[in-house]
Structure 1
Amino acid sequence: MSEPLALAMVRGRLGTWNRLPFVLIPGLLVLAPWCLHALYSFAPELAPKLAGKDDPAAAMVENGQQTVIVLVFALALLGFGRFVPALWSLCQSSLSGLLIAAEFGLVYWIVYGGLAGVGMPGLFWHFDPSVRLRAAFGVTIFTYWMLYLLFIRDYEVHRHEPGRQIWTRFFPALEASGLPAPLALRPTATAPALQEAPGPAPSPPAPEPAAGGAGLDAIRRLRWFLGVAGLPALLALALPALIPVARPVLLRARGPQGGVVPGIVDWPWLGGLAAGVMAVALLAGSRAPTRLHALWHAIRRRASRRGLDRDRLDPHANMKNIIIILTLVFLASYVDEWWAAAPGLRWTYRLFPAAFSMCVALGVLATAATWMGTRSWATRIAFGAVLAALLSAGGALDYEVQLRDLENLYPSATDQYSRHLASVVSKPDWYRGVVDLQEFQRARMTPAAATEATTRRLDLLKNWRGSFEGTGRRPILVVVAASGGALRAGVWTETVLGYLDGVFEDFPHHVRLIAGASGGMLGAARFVADQVHGRGMPGGPPGTKGARKVPPDYLTPIAWQIAFRDFVPNALIPRAMRNRGDALEDAWAGVDAGINLTFADLLKGEEAGRIPSIVFSPMMSEDGRRLLISNQPLADLASNAGRSVIMADHARLAQDFLEQQGKEPDDYDLEYPAQSSISAVEFFRLFESSRPRVRLASAVRMSATFPYVTSTVVLPTYPPRHVVDAGYYDNYGVNLASAWIASHARWLAENTSGVLFVQVRAFPNEARLKKLDRNVLASGAVESRSVWSRIESLLEAVPKAVGLAVGGLQALAIPFEGIAQARDSSMYFRNDAQLNGLHETFKALSPDAGFFRTVVFTCDTSPVVSNAPNVETLNWYLDPVEYEGIRRNMENVSADRQTGRLRNHLRFAALLDWWRSRGGAIREAAEAPRTSTSGQ
């Protein structure tokens, strides 16, 4: 046998061996779902077991799926591992490559469950099949988009040195993989020239390296690169759709016996992947960007159109064409926004769900960075200067994010630029509608204001007491404190209040004050708005007309606004624009228009004592003070008198000031010696005429402005004040509500039959607050001794070793951890101390030991299976499983539904007894209270 023939046989056998992983991987992915289907059909009793019960059979099925995942990843590493060095060198060769790698990691991490605490995986694994299809399509397009940018940048940067292009390292790995042989891919001895974009004169042929695959034309190189480099990415995306245990969100299906089991194959997701691959194949096959560029040159030069050279890519022009296409998409979104009457009717909203919009935003960033990386230094400097100028112009605005309800008070962008050009230190004359904080404090924050506020609130309480005339009993006063926590907190607050409303007769009439933070105030605001309209809580028991079965998606409007407006172009436009906070307000109003009621609409009902008063308390970031937004006068709660402070003689202070400054002082000049501090500012004292314009939606939005998700509002004051989430000061509303009770403790003891303080907490954290050994994120999982657990321990050996090494740097993180824990935990401890103080106050005022009581309702939606949906998410999106668990959390524990919290049910039973002992009325059939649902 001749040596070349023997060498060819050896290569053929090696190629067959190298191709083996690519044969086994599809086989495993097809076999695993088929086996699960067969298992369910032959053993239907497994269906209820897989719904979450701790059963050996369920564990066997789960471990089997995990074993398949390990095998697939091992085979993928065996088959695609040889491409890793080339791809990594392509990423780390430039800043844009590192950015693309980071974006890849972020998107795929979320797809596999990353950032579950804020509900991000649910954006991709949405409960709506059509959304999952579009999300999969979007992430597939994003994957090939990023690979295209990597190849195109390398091709452009090294166009004069083809020997340094990535293909010279990529092709040997491709040939070694055994993939080219079945498709008859053979390197040739020579290579045609790599041409540049059409110009006045063609570029001279560039010498080719003598590397394998050098004879392939540029378009075939690009197609092979996209096809092969995209395979592991597609495998990673397809795996969760085929193996349920790999899915971060549980897609539920009905089992053979009616139980709920995991959905096996997610066909919409696979359909989205297939559609994305076909779209990429169409673009790559037709070479649309290059054809568009050639057509443009033919039109400009009035030249005849000739066939495209297969070795022409025109990288620079192609990236410009991508930017042009993106610009057209953005312009189409503006036309769509102008044409459609409501956001829900816009085709861009339907086409670009939150996950797709996120991919678009990341793609725009990567494209801009890649394009800039291929330009000359002169172009980069010019572009950087323009960008810096635009950002500086935006930074020169004092009021870059405006509250729509107060838009008549803000100065124009020209006026704001004029202030900076004139270097004005105090409020300029042309800031007419802006409130000067110094003048406001001198004129309106007088010592008499605190006394007036207390007297006025007492009159309101008397009106409320009078509204119960004829009942023959003293009323029970109820105060509600709703915790923050985005949509989860909003749903839970509305669920609890609706549940109590369904049991206690005339419950909203007993509620005098509602305070809280963030998303909890959305549920509270809707509860109050429903009382204005004279209706009960929205929705009803499951199965009744009007009950909402799935939660609304408030996150898609935010993501769309970020991707198509706030990121580009609004961030570069030096004026206040519509922002994602406005989009969130409109989304709330689209679900329930009651959120658009103004505070003037609530005023009459509050003064008559017929509807609860609501207090929003966002924080101003510049000075840490709260902004109290309410119809209630709260001047006495906005400042702390210095009754216990040893003060200097007032006359002596005034005399010293006069001698030093040469003018008669007032209290502002003397720093208010009779006060300890001013802790808050009343919104409607600050903007006195704005009550008829300020809506509940705006107040909720300011109270729920947590970082990056919602843009901060800048108040029309001088100096400007940025408003952030109320949770920065008190995420539970207890501090303000308890201060309100304390200010009227004596009157309440004499005129009510009891005071009930309802705490609505969106997260189960009581054990952590009471047990010294309870970690913040302790799961309470029991150690497993199965075979799979041992294999899993071996697989985790390397990450654990890295973790131990990083643990040596723990001292650096302790200060930051302490700050975070102090902010969170100290609120609880402070609030509990305040409530205990209230209890002691009422014990001193009333012989009735049970006069003051507080009850805590926490929401517990702990996962019941390893691949359960996102739970305890802090976002404006909820998975339907978590949503249903929240709605059922006031019920007793149900093993069938895997929902409910035993403590809530027992606490409610004790509350029922306390309510009766106070003379409160119970609705008929309240012994078995109805199940409340949230209308969120």
Structure 2
Amino acid sequence: NTLKILENWRGKFPKDKKPKLVLIAMSGGGQRAAVWTMKTLQFLDSAFNQDLLKKAMLMTGSSGGLIGGSFYRELYLMKQNGANIQLNDEKYIAQLAKDKLNPMVFSLVVGDLFFKFQKVEIDGQKYYKDRGYALEEQLNKDTDYILNKKLKDYKNEEFESKIPMLLITPTVVNDGRKLYISPQPVSYMCKGLVYNYNHKSSIRGIEYSRLFSNQNPENLRFITALRLNATFPYITPNVQLPSEPTMEIVDAGLSDNFGVMDAIQFTHIFKDWIEEHTSGVVLITIRDTPAENQIDQFAFKPLIESAITPLDNLLGNLTRLQNIRNDFNVEILQQLLKKDFFAIVEFQYLELPNENDEEIEHASLSWRLTSKEIKGIVNAIDHPTNKKAFEKLKNLMKK
């Protein structure tokens, strides 16, 4: 099935010139990541005259980043279908930047504590109203309900390559594996990266549509799938799915906050086809954190604080550990492919000093942003690091 999608993707370009295959990986990070992803995609797609998403085969990621990417993808699809849409209109950033924390807090106080037995009916099934439902409804409202679709509603458009495939990959708490949610069959993503073919690799994921084949998986609300992918502890409740034993779902960022591993996995699986039919792979990563972090200064700590420091550092450095793992796997993939065939370009949310040489307020990891934080995120596209990344991307796309 995916090979046919790749062929449909290839059919969009002249036969006598091999195109670049673009993968887009978007990091988690709440509303900050959603706005930064939206701004970056608007800037890049406009700079390439809407040719970038045309060349994009796959979108991956976590939490807010995937929400921003999904919103842009839907707008791109609507424009293809004749809607009068300016894809780089700032109003779409304003929509994503609307406060989503207050509705969840209200739900926590009123719904979770006092009216926890309130239910809502969707497709004949009843569900409890909670903070997760509040986030879905607020996101629907803020985006004019254009994401209020079912998973199956994207199946044909993805198959015909009118839009990139998009993988939603929340983490299964029970065993740490990924749950792969897609309107397409993607069981190939569930196997490990096999570098030594004499070694039997472990199963790294579960295909949602196959496991829940008797529960009409294609009718899952797309916005619900996005919320599963952004289920951050204490902010939105963990989700239990009707498996045996019960499967508990949390944020995709727990296993890979950046979506890089899935992009690598996809490239590795289809590398023979990709090497034959394209001029190379460009992985665009949209990060809401710097790619390089400074090492914290050592400071003397009291006995109790020093006892919990190792655990605190482990949790705080989760994304750094993922960075190291992702870099390692990128290097291995580059060795497996033809020379200079796979390139990665990073766009990072970095504060841009204002005219008075004062740092713009760094956006918090939350579902509420101040006007200063929004301004800082939008302006980050002009950071020298991102300008350099853009020049690199332009050169890669010419080859």
What's the TM-score, normalizing by structure 2?
0.88
Equivalent in the alignment of 1:556: 102
Q: 2:84 matched to 1:530?
A: no
Aligned to 1:709: 235
- Structure with the greater alpha carbon radius of gyration: 1
Matches of 1:550 and 1:618, distance apart in 2: 21
**For residue 123 of structure 2, what is the aligned residue in structure 1?**
none
> How far has the Cα of 1:586 moved from its partner?
0.7
Match of 2:391 in 1: 909
Amino acid across the alignment from 1:580: R
More strand by proportion, 1 or 2?
Answer: 2
1:753 aligns with 2:244: no
Q: Which residue of 2 aligns with 1:600?
A: 152
State the secondary structure of the residue aligned to 1:523.
helix
Shift of 1:633: 2.4
2:352 and 2:380 in contact (8 A); partners too:
no
Matched residue, 1:775: 296
Pair 1:811-2:306 in alignment: yes
One-letter amino acid of the counterpart of residue 43, structure 2: Y
Partners of 1:546 and 1:736 in 2: how far apart?
27
Q: Alpha carbons of 1:529 and 1:490: their partners in 2 closer, same or farther (altered >3 Å)?
A: same
Deviation sequence 1:86-140 (CA, Å, 0-9, x none): xxxxxxxxxxxxxxxxxxxxxxxxxxxxxxxxxxxxxxxxxxxxxxxxxxxxxxx
2:18 to 455, 460, 474: 474
1:493-549 deviations in Å (ceiling 9; x for gaps): 11111111101142211111011111111011112212331269766456xx87749
- Note the 1:299-448 alignment, pairs <5 A: none
Corresponding residue to 1:627 among 179, 189, 193: 179
When the two chains are superposed, the root-mean-square deviation of aligned CA atoms in Å is 2.9
Gaps of 5+ in 2: 120-125
Q: Which residue of 2 aligns with 1:490?
A: 34
Moved more, 857-866 or 523-532: 857-866
Aligned-pair distance for 1:606?
1.0
CA contact (8 A) 1:550 1:883 kept: no
Cα deviation code 1:771-829 (max 9, x no counterpart):
xxx328x9xxxxxxxxxxxxxxxxxxxxxxxx96x534343023313432553322100
Q: Residue by residue, what CA displacement relative to the aligned partner does 1:13-58 show, whole Å, maximum 9, x if unpaired? A: xxxxxxxxxxxxxxxxxxxxxxxxxxxxxxxxxxxxxxxxxxxxxx
Check the 8 A contact 2:61/2:260 in 1, yes or no.
yes
Say yes or no: does 1:880 pair with 2:378. no
Q: SS at 1:600's partner residue? A: helix
Per the alignment, in what secondary structure is the counterpart of residue 36 of structure 2? Answer: helix
Aligned letter for 2:139?
Answer: W
Aligned pairs (5 A) from 1:725-874? 725-768=251-294, 774-775=295-296, 807-821=302-316, 823-843=318-338, 849-861=339-351, 870-874=361-365
Does the 8 Å CA contact 2:62/2:251 hold for their aligned counterparts? yes
Q: How does 1:648-727 map to 2 (within 5 A)?
A: 675-688=200-213, 690-727=216-253
CA distance in 2, matches of 1:500, 1:581: 32
Match of 1:580 in 2: 131
CA contact (8 A) 2:361 2:376 kept: no
1:448 aligned residue: none
Provide the rounded CA distance (Å) in 2 between the counterparts of 1:823 and 1:868: 26
Equivalent residue letter for 1:620: V
Is the 1:762–1:858 contact (alpha carbons within 8 Å) kept by the matching residues of 2?
yes
Write the distance in 2 (CA, Å) between the matches of 1:625 and 1:546. 33
Find the aligned partners of 2:19 and 2:136 in 1 and give their Cα distance: 36
**1:835-894 residue CA offsets vs partner (Å, 9 max, x unmatched):** 112222222xxxxx4332110000013686899775231111111111122112222xxx
| 8 A contact 1:529–1:595 mirrored in 2 | yes
Residue 537 and residue 475 in structure 1: after superposition, are their counterparts in 2 closer, same or farther (change >3 A)? farther
**In the superposition, relative to structure 1, how do residues 746 and 692 fare at CA in structure 2: closer, same or farther (>3 Å)?**
closer
Q: Secondary structure at the match of 2:347?
A: strand
Please tell me the residue identity of whatever aligns with 1:725: D
Structure 2 Cα separation of the partners of residues 680 and 547 of structure 1:
33
Amino acid at match of 1:598: K
Structure 1 residue 723, shift from structure 2 partner? 0.6
1:634 CA displacement: 2.2
> What SS is found at the alignment partner of 2:202?
strand
Q: Which amino acid aligns with 2:31?
A: L
What is aligned with 2:3? 458
Whether the 8 Å contact between 1:863 and 1:871 is mirrored in structure 2 is no
For structure 1, the residue ranges without an aligned partner over 5 or more in a row are 1-455, 646-674, 769-773, 779-802, 844-848, 892-900, 919-936
For CA contacts below 8 A with separation 6 or more, give which structure has more relative contact order. Answer: 2
- What is the alpha-carbon distance in structure 2 between the residues aligned to residue 632 and residue 683 of structure 1? 11
> Aligned partners of 2:318, 2:93: CA distance in 1, in Å?
38
Contact 1:486/1:520 (8 A) holds in 2: yes
Measured in 2, the distance between the counterparts of 1:757 and 1:706 equals 26
Amino acid aligned to 1:639? K
SS of the residue corresponding to residue 57 of structure 2 reads strand
Which of 44, 58, 70 does residue 500 from structure 1 map onto? Answer: 44
One-letter identity of the residue aligned with 2:342 = F
Whole-angstrom distance in 1 between the partners of 2:202 and 2:364: 37
2:345 is paired with a residue whose SS is strand
The structure-2 alpha-carbon separation of the partners of 1:704 and 1:850, relative to structure 1 and needing over 3 Å to count, comes to: same
Provide the C-alpha distance between the structure 2 equivalents of 1:568 and 1:862, rounded to a whole number of angstroms: 44
Determine what percentage of the aligned residue pairs are the same residue: 29
TM superposition shift of 1:833? 1.0
Query: Counterparts of 2:385 and 2:35 in 1: how far apart (Å)?
Result: 19
Q: 2:108 corresponds to which letter in structure 1?
A: I
Distance in 1 between residues matched to 2:117 and 2:311, nearest whole Å: 30
Deviations along 1:234-288, one digit per CA (max 9) or x if unpaired, are xxxxxxxxxxxxxxxxxxxxxxxxxxxxxxxxxxxxxxxxxxxxxxxxxxxxxxx
Separation in 1 of the partners of 2:178 and 2:358? 41
| 1:158-211 C-alpha deviation (Å, 9 max, x unpaired) | xxxxxxxxxxxxxxxxxxxxxxxxxxxxxxxxxxxxxxxxxxxxxxxxxxxxxx
